[in-house]
Amino acid sequence: MTKYVCAVCGYVYEPLDGDPDHGIAPNTPFEDVPDDWTCPLCGVGKENFEPEA
């Protein structure tokens, strides 16, 4: 699964870890994260994330 990076603050969404503190279970691909999810560090929307190179 591809990691995604926040273009604003650099937070890396790691699918194997998910974001349990915000309701995203481990092993959740970024594509399956709800559209209203926001970056846990800076609060920007999912549309500000890009696949890790």
- Quick: pLDDT tens for 1-53: 999 999 999 999 999 999 999 999 999 999 999 999 999 999 999 999 999 98
In the numeric block, which tokens belong to residue 12?
Answer: 């890396």
3-class SS of residue 22: helix
pLDDT of residue 14: 98
Gap between the Cα atoms of 40 and 53, Å rounded = 21
pLDDT of residue 53: 87
pLDDT of residue 39: 98
pLDDT of residue 49: 98
In the numeric block, which tokens belong to residue 33?
Answer: 């994260």
